[in-house]
Structure 1
């Protein structure tokens, strides 16, 4: 069985009027290579005529973002010409690669009508050989994403990337990774085989679960030891969690602001390239 190394409680870091919790990185955990950052926004209810999400145009290089829209919506626009509005249940996967500018804001309808909002954004590192790959973006609505039942109907897996049995994830990735959102009803069980040499990303979004006798409430990140191959999770109440796993890159990582590279010199070059307009723009 997989064993727990530590449990990390998300810290509260509001952004303007946006409720935000951040479990990774933390003073005790820099990364779970190649998973490097997570922001959990909400749950909160916006009134009518609100300002929406505050993430106006900003650059990225050397990493990828995966955005989970549980409630509300996100209107995406980037310097590569991609635009979309993804609604509740949908997923966005953006490869910043060599560099782009993007904005993530609420749709005009959400700002006008308001409503519930809960969104998570996970940053994934890119290996050195892919850091300068061409940027790309894919946004999928809930109905476009693979899902299937587990635990005799007491759970549902939204399979984002990788394979589980005969099921294939909805996003084709540049490097091997498994990523999913799991919904377990009270009494549900998830059991999955994961190679011992892969790092696990496990964050409880809602409810609480039990792993090896330990109760993990929502807004907690579980760090696992690299031993055993069986992950066994039980839900003591209705729960939602993000489950991912991948082999670590074991490369130097320098993260500064919106850029994630392998050396400080590459970070300095990223800032220069951005200032020189090499990340593109839009009117």
Structure 2
């Protein structure tokens, strides 16, 4: 998992947690069902079955891979629309190319994040580069959907490309965990991602046998998802592992611990931590449209059918 790393986390700024911080309990652990997306790449639906009231402002998250493709096997998605939310695509292994009907997009690879604000709507495609299709190779990433509040649903689409080198690297107090802060604030340290909906997103590598306790905004929700390895959540030590999500309760700190022995695929317990300020508005979803009312969903579908979300560029190398 070659997402941005360092040999010695103790050389990094430390994240400190106040001694009187209230620990968040681990309320529930769920296992992500597996499936296929787009043209057939494997995904785990990380938050399937979790009550939206616990997820708000997040809508869904897919773990893409981890898969070691043979030559000719890498796959992406066909052209498809989005409206009313933001997608956050974080690539740990491999390469993905994005293109949209407004001329935006780019290439993201090991440790990079692409933040796409769909807003009023666009057409979009994600695909592996031709050289990866020809050679095969390892692919592993996440795609998170973040809701937009009603006032921002129809803003103009835009991108943020967050290169791996700009991610804020931090250490736990004892150096037992490396924290890659992609967006939001942890103990006064700020990640590079700028969000319409206030959130925190971090990829944490916890050394076998170590634990990490991080400060967490009390008005945010808190979720953890296992990317690789196994460990436990909360001071009570609720077990979770690769492919499982944790919902935390109220408090202003959260704890994750790595088991003393990890599997052969990962030396560390790899976890993504997410929290956000709940929007607390009605949320209606129909496929790639996320709005507030059924009428708005119907309008989004009509706009898509009528070509008002954009058209596929004539010079797109990825077809129609």
Aligned residue number for residue 216 of structure 1 = 240
Give the TM-score of the pair, scaled to structure 2. 0.83
1:32-111 to 2 correspondences below 5 Å: 32-50=55-73, 52-111=74-133
User: Aligned pair in 2 of structure 1 residues 136, 49: CA closer, same or farther (>3 Å)?
Assistant: same
- Give distance in 1, aligned partners of 2:166 and 2:149: 28
Q: 1:75, CA displacement in angstroms?
A: 0.4
- Give distance in 1, aligned partners of 2:75 and 2:206: 28
Structure 1 contact 2–229 (Cα < 8 Å) conserved: yes
Compute the RMSD of aligned alpha carbons: 1.6
Q: 1:147, CA displacement in angstroms?
A: 1.5
SS of the residue 2:132 aligns to: helix
C-alpha deviations, 1:132-181, integer Å up to 9, x for none? Answer: 11111122332232222224332211111112234221112223211111
Residue 234 in 1 paired to residue 238 in 2? no
SS of the residue 1:13 aligns to: strand
Aligned residue number for residue 249 of structure 1 = 279
User: Aligned pair in 2 of structure 1 residues 165, 229: CA closer, same or farther (>3 Å)?
Assistant: closer
Aligned residue number for residue 4 of structure 1 = 26
Residue 137 in 1 paired to residue 137 in 2? no
Structure 1 contact 151–188 (Cα < 8 Å) conserved: no
Residue 179 in 1 paired to residue 209 in 2? no
- Give distance in 1, aligned partners of 2:273 and 2:165: 20
Residue 188 in 1 paired to residue 218 in 2? no
Give the TM-score of the pair, scaled to structure 1. 0.93
Higher strand share: 1
Aligned residue number for residue 270 of structure 1 = 300
1:280 aligns with one of 301, 310, 314? 310
Aligned residues: 280
2:220 aligns with one of 185, 195, 198? 198
User: Aligned pair in 2 of structure 1 residues 110, 155: CA closer, same or farther (>3 Å)?
Assistant: same
Stretch deviating more after TM superposition (265-274 or 1-10) = 1-10
Structure 2 contact 98–126 (Cα < 8 Å) conserved: yes
**Unmatched segments (≥5 aa) in structure 2:** 1-22, 263-267, 315-320
User: Aligned pair in 2 of structure 1 residues 100, 17: CA closer, same or farther (>3 Å)?
Assistant: closer
Structure 2 contact 147–197 (Cα < 8 Å) conserved: no
- Give distance in 2, aligned partners of 1:138 and 1:19: 26
User: Aligned pair in 2 of structure 1 residues 58, 264: CA closer, same or farther (>3 Å)?
Assistant: same
Structure 1 contact 24–30 (Cα < 8 Å) conserved: no
Q: 1:121, CA displacement in angstroms?
A: 0.7
- Give distance in 2, aligned partners of 1:17 and 1:268: 28
Stretch deviating more after TM superposition (86-95 or 12-21) = 12-21
* Deviant stretches of 4+, over 6 Å: none
1:23-38 to 2 correspondences below 5 Å: 23-26=46-49, 28-30=50-52, 32-38=55-61
